[in-house]
Structure 1
Amino acid sequence: MAIKLILSDIDGTILDDNNKIDTGLRLAIANLKKQSVPFVLASARSPQGMLNIAKELDVLDNPIACYNGALVVKDLQSNNYSTILSHQLEKAEIEKMLTIIQQNFPKVAINLYSGSDWYVEKIDKWVKIEADITKLTPIVTDLQTLVAKNNLPVHKILLISEPEEIAQVHQRLRDSNLANSSFYLSKPNYLEITNAQVSKEKALRELAKTYNLELSETMSLGDNFNDVPMLKLAGLGVAMDNAPTEVKKSANVVTGTNNQNGVSKAIEKYVL
C-alpha cells in the first residue's frame, strides 16, 4: 500500500555523527507535503530539545513524539502546545526511585522531565554535558519536594553517571518492584525511565488513529533497540545501516547510514 505517514527517530537516524541533519531531508519533506504525507519526529528528547530540528525541517505543523512517545504534542512552536498523548510516571514510584538513588548512588545525576521543563538537583559535570548537547538550561530544585508538593506530570527520568555505576543502578531499580516503570539504556551511562506503557510503537498506533490510517500505510525509521517495536509494527520498517545487526533484522529493509543521508534516500525510494 502507499505510505501515508512516516515516523522517524532522530539521533543516529536523521542526525549524522556530527549532529548535522540529513542534507537531503528538507527537500524530501517538502515533496512529502505535496503528497500530504506527514513526517513525524520521535525521540527520547524533550519538546524543547526537538524544537530547533522541527523548525529546520519545517515540520512544526505535524505531531511530535517526545520522550519516546510518553508525550505526543502538536503546535510545538506555541507555548501552549496541544497534547495528543501523555503517559507519566507514577508519583509513588518516582519517590521510591529518588530515595534509592539519593541514598545509595549520590554521584548519579538525576534529570526529571515534565512537559518542556527539565529539573535537576545540582549542576554537575553530567548535567553540563547534557546542557551542551541539548542547548537547554535546567531548573535547579529539590526533586523530592518538587514531586511531593506538586501535581507534576513526570514524563521521563534520565540518570547519568559512569557506565559501571549506571549498570548497578539499573539492576537495583529493576529489583525494586517498580511495576509501572520501564528502564532503557540509551547509552552505556544513560538510563532512561518512563511509564511502562510508553513506546514508539504505541505512539505510532495513536498517530495512525489520529490520521485515520491503517498501520500498513505507515513507515518508520530508526537505528536502535528502542526503535525495534515501531520498525516491526509499521507497514514498512526501515533500519539504518549503522544500526546493530538485531535492529536491522527487525526491519523490512535497510537504508544507508546516518552519515550517508539514509533517511532521505529511503523516502525517495519507498515513498516519493
Structure 2
Amino acid sequence: MIMVIKLILSDIDGTILNDNNEVDSDLKQTVKELKNKDIPFVLASARSPKGMLPIAKELGVLNNPIACYNGALVIKDLQNDEYSKILSHELNVEEVKRIIKTVHDKYNNVSINLYSGSDWYAENLDKWVKIESEITNLTPILTDFDKLIENNPVHKILLVSEPDEISVLLNDLERSNYDDSSFYLSKPNYLEITNSQVSKEKALRELTSTYNLSLDQTMTLGDNYNDIPMLKIAGLGVAMENAPTDVKDFADAITEDNNKNGVSKAIKKYVLR
C-alpha cells in the first residue's frame, strides 16, 4: 500500500486507550517521530475538551487541533482557558428541551449529562455520573438544566442507563422527528446526541482544509460505530481489532487491539515505515 500520509486523526476510548484507560505505551515516542516529520496527530473523541486535556498533554499534542464531542467542537490551544474555535455546532435549544422532558417523563433511571464548551453539567451525582467521573477524572457542575439551556450553547447530550433501557429510549427518540439532532451509541449503555451536522467525517474535512491537504493524505483510527464516517473517507481508515465486525467492514486495514498498542503499530507500519 503506497501512500503519503500527512495527517492522522485518531479516536481515544478503545483506540489509543487500553481497557484500563491507559494510553498506548509506545504512542508518545511515535508521536514525537510524527512531529519530526511534520505530521499532525489529532485526537477526536466524544469527550469534552477537559476530558481530552490530560491525554493531549501526555502525548505532547496540545498545539494540534482537538476534535471534541465527535467534532461538534474543534479547537486549538486546548491548554488555554480561552481556546480558539475552528468549528462549533450546537444543538437546537427546543430539541434539547424536548429530549430532557421525554427522559424526565418516561425514563426515570436514565442519567442526563449536558456538555457546553469545555464544561460538563449534571442534575445530580447519580451512579452513572460517578462512573463517568471516575473514567474521565472530571467532576460535573450540578445545575438546573432549564436555566443552563437558556443561557449556554449545548454541544452534546449524554444519556446513560442499562443497555436495555437505552435501546428503548433510542428507538423512542428516533421515531419522534428530531430534525436537527443525531443519535448514536458510543457504548451499549451510552446514548450520545449532537447536532445532525456533526460527525468525525466533517471534522476530518475541516482539518484537511485547515492544513491544505487532500483526504487521500489522511489516516484515521477508530473502534466504534461513530468512527465509521471518518474511516470511510480517509486515505487510509484503520480499525482496531477490538472493533465490532461491522465497523471493521468499513476500514481499509485492521491493526492490533487497544490492549496491544494497535495505534502505534499501525502508525509505524503505514506512516513511519
Whether the TM-score (by the shorter chain) exceeds 0.5 is yes
C-alpha displacement of 1:18: 1.1
Deviations 1:234-258 (A, max 9, x none): 0011111111112112111111111
Q: Which residue of 2 aligns with 1:74?
A: 76
Q: Which residue of 1 aligns with 2:168?
A: 168
CA distance in 1, matches of 2:188, 2:255: 25
Rounded Cα–Cα distance in structure 1 between residues aligned with 2:185 and 2:78: 27
Equivalent position of 1:52 in the other structure: 54
Q: Name the residue aligned to 1:15.
A: 17
Matches within 5 A, 1:153-164: 153-164=153-164
Q: Aligned equivalents of 2:108 and 2:147: distance in 1? A: 17
In structure 2, the residue matched to 1:228 is 228
Task: Give the structure 2 partner of residue 217 of structure 1.
Answer: 217
Judge conservation of contact 1:98–1:144 (CA < 8 Å) in 2.
no
Q: Aligned partners of 1:212 and 1:251: how far apart in 2?
A: 24
Aligned to 1:179: 179
| 1:1-272 aligned within 5 A | 1-148=3-150, 150=151, 152-272=152-272
Aligned partners of 2:20 and 2:109: how far apart in 1? 29
Structure 1 residue 107: Cα displacement: 2.1
Tell me the alpha carbon deviations over residues 14-37 of structure 1, each in whole angstroms, 9 at most, x when there is no partner.
111111111111111101011100
Matched letter for residue 87 of structure 1: H
Aligned residue for 1:250, secondary structure, equals coil
**Bigger shift: residues 55-64 or 174-183:** 174-183
Which structure 2 residue ranges, 5 or more long, are not aligned?
A: none
- Tell me the CA shift for residue 106 of structure 1: 2.1
Point out where structure 1 has 5 or more consecutive residues left out of the alignment. none
1:120 aligned partner, one-letter code: A
Query: SS of the residue aligned with 1:154?
Result: coil
User: 1:224, 1:188 → 2: CA distance?
Assistant: 11
Provide the TM-score with structure 2 as the length reference: 0.97
How far off its partner does 1:145 sit? Answer: 2.5
Q: For the Cα contact (< 8 Å) 2:185–2:225, is it kept in 1?
A: no
Matched residues, percent identical?
A: 66
Give the root-mean-square deviation of aligned CA atoms: 0.9
Matched residue of 2:67: which SS? strand
**C-alpha distance in 1 between matches for 2:245 and 2:167:** 23
Read off the aligned partner of 2:257 and give its amino acid letter. T
Contact 1:237 1:252 in 2 (8 A): yes
